Amino acid sequence: GAVVSQHPSRVICKSGTSVKIECRSLDFQATTMFWYRQFPKQSLMLMATSNEGSKATYEQGVEKDKFLINHASLTLSTLTVTSAHPEDSSFYICSAFGDRGRRDSETQYFGPGTRLLVL
As a whole number of angstroms, the distance between CA 7 and CA 17 comes to: 17
- For another protein, which residue of 62, 68, 74, 110 counts as binding (CB under 8 A)? 110
Contact status, residue 15 vs residue 106, Cβ threshold 8 Å: no
Q: How far is the CB of 83 from another protein (least distance, A)?
A: 26
Contact between 26 and another protein by CB under 8 A: the answer reads no
Are the CB atoms for 83 and 98 separated by under 8 Å? Answer: no
Rounded least distance, CB 16 to another protein, Å: 26
Residue 111 as a binder of another protein (CB under 8 A): the answer is: yes
The Cα-based distances of 89 to 10, 17, 32, 64, 79 in angstroms read 11, 13, 25, 17, 14
Binding site for another protein (CB under 8 A): 4, 6, 32, 34, 41-44, 46, 49, 57, 91, 93, 95, 97, 104, 106-113, 115
